[in-house]
Amino acid sequence: MRRQWLLGVTCLLLLTLGYRVRAQDSLIRALTRQLAITKTDTGRVNRLIDLANASTDTNRVSALQYSNEALALARAINYKPGIAMAQFTLGRAYSNLNNYDRAVSYLNAAGDGFSQLQDSLGVARVQSRLAWVSIQRGDYATAFELGQQSLRVAEQRNDLLLIRQTHSHLGSLHILLGDYTLALEFLTTAMDEHERANDLRSVCRTLNALGELYRLKGDPEKAQNYYDKSIRLAESLQNPLLRAEAESNLAAVETEQGQPLAAIRTAHRSLRVLLAEGAYEVIAWAQTVMARAQLATNRADSAVYYGQKSWNLSRQIGYKEVIRDASQILAQSYARQNDYQRAYQYQQTFIAYNDTLLGAQTRQQLTILQQNAKAAEQQAAAILQAEEDQRQQQRLIGALIGLGLLGVVALVLWRSNRQQTRTNAQLRQQQAELKAAQNQLIQQEKLASLGELTAGIAHEIQNPLNFVNNFAEVSVELIDEIADEHHKPNPDPQLTDELLTDLRQNLQKISQHGGRASSIVRGMLQHSRASSGQREPTDLNALCEEYLRLAYHGLRAKDKTFNASFQVDPDPALGPVQVMPQDLGRVLLNLYTNAFYAVQSRQKTTPTAGYQPEVTAQVRLENDQAVIRIRDNGTGIPAALLSKIFQPFFTTKPTGEGTGLGLSLAYDIITKGHGGTLDVDSHEGQGTTFTLKLPT
């Protein structure tokens, strides 16, 4: 029924298109005539603001000009409502032009003006727009808080326009946070509200957002269906920018569905319009889509061309997500061209941005989770306090009225108890939602360890690759010398034998270091696979040594100045142990990373003459148990905090540097997944030892 209704609306649009376009032009002409005949200065300010609002979607430069004129005139006559409103329209105009710093400056000024005027609805409109700007800048926690504040005021004042705008913003926000269920709920509500208001531009944008939701969710058919609807609606509205935005997303889906040639044609159409409109963020995204499609058709040169354009533009405007994607495409494209040096450089950039974005998103989701939990606690406390106040009042009334009204008091208490039951049910539901969100963060923490591992692998794999390249170059020179000697009238057999011996040794070295690089790649692939949950015989001595080395190189990849000594003390008597190697590897990587962080912190914060950072791992077979002890001589953990060290979301690191989930997950993997134990012994200022015991 919903699809049939939307189809009917689209058909009606096609019939009334000419009228709607003429109506928009007529509105601007009518406002221009009114401005010309308006005598009062305050009236002229209001007409200029109306013109800025009417030009927002059709001519962004004109909207900026009208807003500046309105602000100058309002300041000249000290018309405070006009000043605040002109600052708001300026903030919106600059945000549409992707100039977010100036947008935030004007929006904050508008918010202050509305607050002084005690205009709560004006403040809510500012908060809604600031939420949208925060989404574009990647500050999801701020966007979530501002969006919730704006929505509460809009619902209290029953401002339908602000309600549907805020629902759209929150839907887009939850897409970025990966909460597709809640995103679909917000966007579906926003779609109904836009349709009832006959706001077809917002319907077009919401269709595009729904397509993006299903594309990220892994349902390309539904995504393409929504993109097609958005494109048709944009065509009927004669809005080339909306169509180009939808086509850039459609091209990404076409590439994912194995239609790169169609994606190239679609992306070309999109880029022609976007470049003319100056929509820089969408241009950077569309160029990345084009580069990926070119790479899918084995056109590495074209992929490099578009990937480099996207990389340069996204760095200029600070679009980190596109910098990450463009770096990955450039690394793959240069590898296809056998330019491994550039491929390696861009792969390092991809890893750095991917780690940064993943960590930032995890921290922002944690912030939103904490905000929800705090709000739920405050709401529950307020309800319980209100219930207690009501009960106190009821007792007083009962004492004054006496036994004659005992039945009435009993009835009131019964109703109070029923309300209390409902309150408890709401609190349990909120706790369940909180638990679900925590589980989602835990899964992301598991993925975050892959970034640490990849940085270490990339740093370590460079050594065997350097050896391979060097020996290969020397081998080519040896072959040239053999060829020269062979073509001489009287070749020297002894010299030829010596050259062949050197060549054989070089090829053996190439094979040796190539095998080392191959083993590193196999280890990376094994770690990146999801755990099967099956235990397999594993050499714990080798596993501990490999992850210790990778953790060290992972930290060195971020801080070239850091150096530390590290070693593994193996137990030759310990045979293979039945464990889940991927899960145990994550535990070791987390403990090693924490150990190197601790010694690095001690070296920076309390430098001591002769201090040498040191991390060691000892493997032993004791009482039919495999025992792994990981020691460091870092900062140590205060005794008062040791009892909390394995609690979820508890961390001793500064704000923003840890989620507090790593040790909690490690404890669960060892105790629940392997039936072992994980203990900690630490002395503040001296170091820490973690002891893992696994049944053999």
Provide the 10 A C-beta neighbour count for residue 583.
Answer: 20
Dihedral-angle region of residue 680 (phi above 0 means left; psi in -120 to 50 means alpha; beta otherwise)? beta
Question: Is the pLDDT assigned to residue 1 strictly greater than 50?
Answer: no
At 158, give phi and psi (nearest 5°).
55, 45
Token code pair at residue 161? 């326009």
pTM of the model: 0.49
Tell how far CA 414 is from the center of its chain: 49
Query: Where do the domains of the chain lie?
Result: 467-528, 536-695
Please give the helix or strand (H or E) that residue 690 lies within, else none. strand 687-695
CA–CA separation, 550 and 556 (whole Å): 10
SS3 assignment, position 205: helix
Over residues 550-601, the pLDDT tens digits come to: 889 888 877 888 889 999 999 999 999 999 998 898 899 999 999 999 999 9
∠ CA 416-421-422, nearest 5°, is: 95
Over residues 510-562, the pLDDT tens digits come to: 887 777 676 666 555 554 544 556 889 999 999 999 999 988 988 887 788 88
Question: Is the pLDDT assigned to residue 605 strictly greater than 70?
Answer: yes
Predicted local confidence at residue 653, as pLDDT: 75
Per-residue DSSP letter, 643: G
The alpha carbon torsion through 42, 43, 49, 52 (nearest 10 deg) reads: -140
Strand partners, 627: 620, 693
What would the 3-class secondary structure string for 9-34 be?
A: HHHHHHHHHHHHHHHHHHHHHHHHHH
List % helix, strand, coil for the chain (3-state, nearest 5).
Answer: 75, 5, 15
Which position has the token pair 């922002």? 364
The alpha carbon torsion through 283, 289, 295, 300 (nearest 10 deg) reads: 10
Strand partners, 625: 622, 695
Question: Is the pLDDT assigned to residue 163 strictly greater than 80?
Answer: yes
Q: How many residues does the chain have?
A: 696
SS3 assignment, position 628: strand
Over residues 74-128, the pLDDT tens digits come to: 999 999 999 999 999 999 888 887 788 898 999 999 999 999 999 999 999 999 9
Strand partners, 628: 619, 692
Over residues 168-215, the pLDDT tens digits come to: 888 888 888 788 888 899 999 999 999 999 999 899 999 999 999 998
Task: State the chain's mean pLDDT as an integer.
Answer: 81
Predicted local confidence at residue 318, as pLDDT: 77
Question: Is the pLDDT assigned to residue 18 strictly greater than 50?
Answer: no
Predicted local confidence at residue 427, as pLDDT: 67
Token code pair at residue 107? 């929006």
Over residues 490-499, the pLDDT tens digits come to: 888 887 888 7
Return contacts of 675-679, CB within 8 angstroms, 24+ apart: 676/625, 678/587, 678/646
Predicted local confidence at residue 5, as pLDDT: 32
CATH superfamily assigned to domain 536-695: Histidine kinase-like ATPase, C-terminal domain (3.30.565.10)
Q: What is the DSSP string of 424-491?
A: HHHHHHHHHHHHHHHHHHHHHHHHHHHHHHHHHHHHHHHHHHHHHHHHHHHHHHHHHHHHHHHTSSS-
Listed residue (159, 168, 222) closest to 194, CA to CA: 168
Predicted local confidence at residue 64, as pLDDT: 87
Strand partners, 168: none
Per the model's pLDDT, the better-predicted residue between 164 and 415 turns out to be 164
Question: Is the pLDDT assigned to residue 244 strictly greater than 70?
Answer: yes
